Amino acid sequence: MPRYASIFLLLLLRLTALPQPHDRSNPDVLEQFHDDALNITYFYPSRFVPVLSPPGTAFTTDTPQCARTALFANSVTPIDTSSFALSTVDKTCPALLRRGTQLGPFIREEILHQLKQYGEPSITQEPTRYNIDGRPAAITLASVAMPQTSGKVARTTYAAKACALASIPVKARNKDSKPVEPASPVICFDFTTQNNEQLNLMFSFILQFDNDPLTPMFPASVVRRR
């Protein structure tokens, strides 16, 4: 999709240009957030404002103490509310970490669980695997029609969930070796919006592992729009 490729190129140019004045009124300026625990830097559109106390049920599993939410942010406009969350699953909960490293089945189960608070969700794109800077990743999309309430028009919530290994996996030396226990934390990105077109904002998210080159969180080719 050339349009998304050109968007990413413009974002890279903006990031590598001379520092710009901090201005949240410009939604195209990128903010950055550094996860000190994993030494990962995330870049996201400044239209999203971090929330100091994120809702406890928004993007968590059945065992919320096992998922560390690094950043939760909202973008609220008169016609739409969008949110994203960055979270990590690590060896604090070995069973959940093993599930998380499966990526595809994990994100499918989790996105349906997370959206059930709004109604009966459905998967609109089955988990699709890809790589982020050499790290296995997967993304899935879902939606849920929220019941109409008194005096309000029924709305649909659209969601995307992507997870990736925080480090490049170590391969077994030979096929007779015992499986290596998952050592890498799993990083996850959750995005919800009430406007299907706002899913395009996902292509603005960029991350950087350690001092590696900047890389898009989602190549445009892995998201199939309808």
pLDDT band at residue 199, thresholds of 50, 70 and 90? confident
Q: Is the pLDDT of residue 159 over 80?
A: yes
pLDDT digits (tens, 9 = 90+) for 83-138: 999 999 998 888 899 999 999 999 999 999 999 988 899 999 999 999 999 999 99
- The tally of domains found in the chain comes to 1
Q: What is the CATH number of the domain that holds 11?
A: 3.40.1000.10
Please name every residue paired with 197 in a beta bridge, in sequence order, or none if there are none: none
Least-confidence region, from 44-58, 88-102, 137-151: 44-58
Q: What is the pLDDT of residue 19?
A: 38
- Residue 118 is part of which domain span? 2-169+178-222
pTM listed for this prediction: 0.80
The DSSP secondary structure of the chain, one letter per residue, reads: -HHHHHHHHHHHHHHHSS-----TTSTTSEEEEEETTTTEEEEEETTSEE-SS--TTSS--SSGGGEEEEEEEEEEETTEEEEEEEEEE-TTSHHHHHHHTT-HHHHHHHHHHHHTTTS--EEEEEEEEEEETTEEEEEEEEEEEPPP-TTS---EEEEEEEEEESSPPPPPSSTTSPPPPP-S-EEEEEEEESSGGGGGGGGG-EEEETTSPPEESS-GGG----
> How confident is the model over 42-50, as a mean pLDDT?
93
Among the listed ranges 17-21, 65-69, 122-126, which one has the minimum average pLDDT value? 17-21
**Amino acid 21: pLDDT:** 45
| Structure-token match 């080719």, residue found | 221
* Residues of the chain above pLDDT 70, percent: 73
